[in-house]
Structure 1
């Protein structure tokens, strides 16, 4: 079976879906009988080269969004025919997926579709939903996403939930890091600190509420803790930068920008806790990665986070900075609670692996072909 995978809209591996593809490809059994061919911009040949060095077809068109949109409406069908794909996988179907399909096709939905569509004009929302209804199969990253898709009118039978995995060879407790300062060039981060790994965008990420909570925590405890916000700038990132600048403890808030995924385990391991206040996450992979490195996780009881954290996290109302601050204080002062949460987290994440994710994904593709 020859499977085409569309890499347009995956931000060259720097987005969540881009990281997903890299991890998925690394864990597809090398003995598989199937032939996977990625296609997209020439630069992506090198983005995914570690997993698929000789399995990439460059599409030589302008990278301007209107041109890409037009190609996905018209040009992609002849490209698929020329490549003789048996199945095509679309990792970013909200942005780049054709309106009709000449071969069995699968949409990979890793975000809350209703949220992604909310700010689009009505006719665009309707057009994208119609495409999702037409595609042969949808792989949803969580039960929360599945329910959201059903509310948009997509049939439940079309949706298969496959959770993301964790790279346990990368995300594990780095107990050898014992110094007062974490040095990962070009960064030098003084401990102790709390960590929030998420793109700086949108009000639903709740960065400003976390900053308010951190201010309350610092004011009450006089602690030396810092707050590390790790993620590249997205829409409305300027509001988050302004909130940091306005904080009474701005000098203790550190923004890393985009942080290399391969160095995240060290960043997590040296933190006192991972704090994740986002209220609209379709997939809670960052909290699993944090647990796997042996630190406690505090997160909002919202979106897909309870699905991914189970009973292994300390939950809070993300709209309530006072409650967040109280939980920060608890996790710092209650050593027994810390130890219990770390132990429970390490046990919980054992059920998530990229090998399982890859195997289940191939099973969906094989069933579709049959």
Structure 2
């Protein structure tokens, strides 16, 4: 759940909220994350998991050995894995749906260390054999699943990411400029929302692109990054500090989800530098 500070965390929150409208849902969650999970539903049951399994290796072991036992012991109809590009088990006693967000580690060199690279490229494909169905969040991800993991097309379907209709809309309110003042955003800006990670999130490439733009286009405009530091953040910030337009690049750190709609609405441009 990443302490609630990642895209997959937001995906999980929204998915659980939607499922609770018609179903009783159990979610297995590290104890340290429970207080960060804001979903309050009568049909929601939280299964606490020891924080010992927070470490990636321990998390892998939990998914391989303990999750199947948990599913076997309890009277579940389905098991849902919210990010099979990160975690799966070897077998499941119940029908299981896996959600795949991307296989970017096949396209971005040195995204992970050797252990995690081997895990993603060799163990996880084996784990897909016992999944009942796979949901890809884009046709590109579906193609990558076939290309890199040899998953048959008829085992997958594409369901695009949605958004929170109550939170994201075009209606401004009186608090908008208080949020801008909080982040000291006085000039027009371009914004990219993502944890600060290198090389996986393409911050360096975006900084270079911003630098390469004609100065007349970027005059009095800032390039704003909203996201907490992750692996390789120091490299991104060092690159920004050495950029030709370094004084126009801003790092806001982690931005709470309630402030994001304002930052999107007030931006000149939202940038998503995907390969």
**TM-score, normalisation: structure 2:** 0.85
CA gap 1:221/1:37 in 2 versus in 1, 3 angstroms? closer
In the alignment, which of 105, 112, 119 is matched to residue 103 of structure 2? 112
Matched, 1:59 2:60: no
Matched, 1:84 2:75: yes
Higher relative contact order (CA 8 A, sep 6+): 1
Tell me the equivalent position of 1:50: 39
Q: In 2, Cα distance between the equivalents of 1:135 and 1:212?
A: 41
Tell me the equivalent position of 1:320: none
Matched, 1:70 2:66: no
In the alignment, which of 153, 158, 161 is matched to residue 164 of structure 1? 161
Q: 1:283-327 deviations in whole A, cap 9, x for unaligned?
A: xxxxxxxxxxxxxxxxxxxxxxxxxxxxxxxxxxxxxxxxxxxxx
1:237 deviation in Å?
Answer: 1.9
Q: In 2, Cα distance between the equivalents of 1:41 and 1:116?
A: 30
Q: 1:3-58 deviations in whole A, cap 9, x for unaligned?
A: xxxxxxx313211111011122333462x1x3211112123333334244651111
Secondary structure at 1:57's aligned position in 2?
strand
Tell me the equivalent position of 2:89: 98
CA gap 1:268/1:182 in 2 versus in 1, 3 angstroms? farther
Matched, 1:40 2:45: no
Secondary structure at 1:69's aligned position in 2?
helix
RMSD, matched Cα:
2.7
Q: In 2, Cα distance between the equivalents of 1:114 and 1:248?
A: 30
Question: How many equivalent pairs are there?
Answer: 267
Contact 1:195 1:275 in 2 (8 A): yes
Tell me the equivalent position of 2:3: 12
Structure 1 alignment gaps of length 5 or more: 1-9, 280-370
Matched, 1:135 2:131: yes
Tell me the equivalent position of 2:225: 229
1:247 deviation in Å?
Answer: 2.0
Structure 2 alignment gaps of length 5 or more: none
1:194 deviation in Å?
Answer: 1.1
Secondary structure at 1:96's aligned position in 2?
coil
CA gap 1:223/1:123 in 2 versus in 1, 3 angstroms? closer
Tell me the equivalent position of 1:274: 270
CA gap 1:75/1:185 in 2 versus in 1, 3 angstroms? farther
Tell me the equivalent position of 1:306: none
Q: In 1, Cα distance between the equivalents of 2:38 and 2:195?
A: 25
Q: 1:93-116 deviations in whole A, cap 9, x for unaligned?
A: 233221111111111111226538
Contact 1:113 1:149 in 2 (8 A): no
CA gap 1:199/1:222 in 2 versus in 1, 3 angstroms? closer
Q: In 2, Cα distance between the equivalents of 1:197 and 1:140?
A: 22
1:141 deviation in Å?
Answer: 0.6
**TM-score, normalisation: structure 1:** 0.65
Secondary structure at 1:205's aligned position in 2?
coil
Contact 2:136 2:159 in 1 (8 A): yes
Q: 1:310-346 deviations in whole A, cap 9, x for unaligned?
A: xxxxxxxxxxxxxxxxxxxxxxxxxxxxxxxxxxxxx
Secondary structure at 2:185's aligned position in 1?
strand
